[in-house]
Amino acid sequence: MKRESITLNGTKYRWPLRPMVIVCIDGGDPAYIERGIEDGIIPNIERFVQNGFYAVCDGTVPSFTCPNNMSIVTGSPPAVHGISGNFYLEPDTREAVMMTGPELLRSSTVLAEFANRGAKVVTITAKDKLRQQLQKGIDLTKGNISFSSQFADKCTMEENGIGNMLELVGMPQPDMYSAELSLFVLEAGIKLLEQQRPDLMYLSLTDFIQHKYAPGERECNEFYQNLDNAFGRLVELGTALVLTADHGMNDKAKDDGSPNVIWLQDLLDEEFGKDTTTVICPITDPFVAHHGALGGFVRVYCNGSTSRERTLRFIEQLPGVESVYDRIAAAAEFELPPDREGDLAVLSEAGTCIGAAAAAHDLEGLKGHRLRTHGGVSERKVPLIISEPVNDEYQARAARRTLKSYEVFDFAINGPAQ
C-alpha cells in the first residue's frame, strides 16, 4: 500500500499516520460545549479544548444536516458538491425530490479518495438518509464499511461491508427518536476501531436531543456525558479525534411556549392568490416529529405570472424575516448551486422559524416541548475540536479569520503536528 497524500477540490490531504476519527455531532451547537465545560460535566472534551485545538467555524447555510455533512466530507461548499438542502424542487418536473441520492452529489469525498488509495475507511451515520452519499465511491468489497444505526439490524456484507452489527455492538436496535441512535454510532465505532483499526472513520450522529433540550437541561447533560465518555475511550485507543457539528440550534418558541412560526405559504396565498407560489421547506425528511418540518430557511418558487420582485418585497417586510435573496444572490452569498435554488431564499431571525401552510405541518410530535430548530444564519456556527494541537501554520490561519466547516478535514488531517 502506497501511503500517498490525496488532493480533492484543491486541497491536499496527507496520509493519516494513525487512525483518525471525525465525529459530526448533529445539532451540536457550540453553546452545548461551552455550557458543558462551564458545568464541568464533559472532562474529555474540556481537555481537548485546553490541550488540543478549539475554534468556532461557519457552517454551510442552509444550516441543515445533508448540506453540512457533505461540505465536511468533500471539503467544499454546496456550489461544488451540489447538496443544498435535504429536499429541493426539480426544475423540469416541479416535483419535490429528497437530496439524499448519491447521483445528486457532484463531488468525490475525502473518505472515498483515501479508500481508493488503500486506506481502510468506515462511515457510520445515525439516520440512513446520509449513508449513500457518505459511502459514495467507497468500495465496500475491500474491507471498507458503511452503515446506519437506523438499519443496524439489517446490515449485510453486500450492502454495508459488514453484517451482524447488533451482536458486535451488544446493544438492541435503537429507536429512530432516541439518544441511543447516536450512542450506537459511537459504540460501533469503538468496536470497529478495536477490531479492525481503520485509518479513517467518519461518525455522524442525530440531533434528536438538541431539538428537544437546551444546554444545561438534565436529558441534554446526560447525553453529552455519554458522548464525552465515548470520546475519552476513542482517544485511549490511540486515535486522533476530531469533533464538529453540521449546524447549531436555537429556541424558536414564544413566551407562552407555542412555536414562533411564519406560515409563509398562507401569507403568500392571501396576498397573491392560491397556486401563485410554492414554498419548499428543505429541512424536511421522513422523520420530522421533533421539529414539525419547521426550519430557518425556505425556498419560494414563483409560478408563471407572479413577479419575483413583488414577492421578495412582500416577504422582506414580514416580522421575523431576517433576509430574502433571489436565486443568484442566494447562490453567491452562501456558495450554493444556482440550479438547485428556488426563485427566492428566505431566512428567519434566530427566534423565529418558517413553515409553508399551517395545515401542512404536523406539530403533534413536539408534545409540549418548546420548538428548537435550525436552518438560518443564526444556526450556522459549529465547533471544531481536535484532541491534539495544530501546527503554527494552522494556528495562524484560525487566528486570522473565521474558519469554514468545509475546512474541517483539512484541519483534522493536516493540522496536527507530526
Residues within the interface to Zn ion (CB under 5 A): 26, 65, 207, 246
Find, among 413, 78, 393, the residue nearest to 246 by Cα. 78
CB nearer to Zn ion: give 26 or 113: 26
CB nearer to Zn ion: give 26 or 407: 26
User: Which residues have a Cβ under 8 Å from the Cβ of 352 and sit 6 or more positions away?
Assistant: 252, 260, 261, 262, 296, 320, 321
Give me the least distance between CB of 8 and Zn ion, in Å please: 23
The DSSP output letter for 185 is H
- What stretches of 109-261 show up as alpha helix (H) in DSSP? 110-116, 131-134, 157-160, 165-169, 180-196, 208-212, 218-236
Find, among 3, 144, 10, 123, the residue nearest to 69 by Cα. 123
Give me the least distance between CB of 247 and Zn ion, in Å please: 5
Give me the least distance between CB of 287 and Zn ion, in Å please: 11
Give me the least distance between CB of 207 and Zn ion, in Å please: 5
Give me the least distance between CB of 245 and Zn ion, in Å please: 8
d(CA 110, CA 34): 29
d(CA 308, CA 61): 22
CB nearer to Zn ion: give 65 or 109: 65
The DSSP output letter for 291 is T
Amino acid at position 4, single letter: E
Torsion sign over Cα 213, 218, 219, 220: positive
CB nearest Zn ion: which residue? 65
CB nearer to Zn ion: give 65 or 146: 65
Give me the least distance between CB of 249 and Zn ion, in Å please: 9
CB nearer to Zn ion: give 198 or 295: 295
CB nearer to Zn ion: give 23 or 119: 23
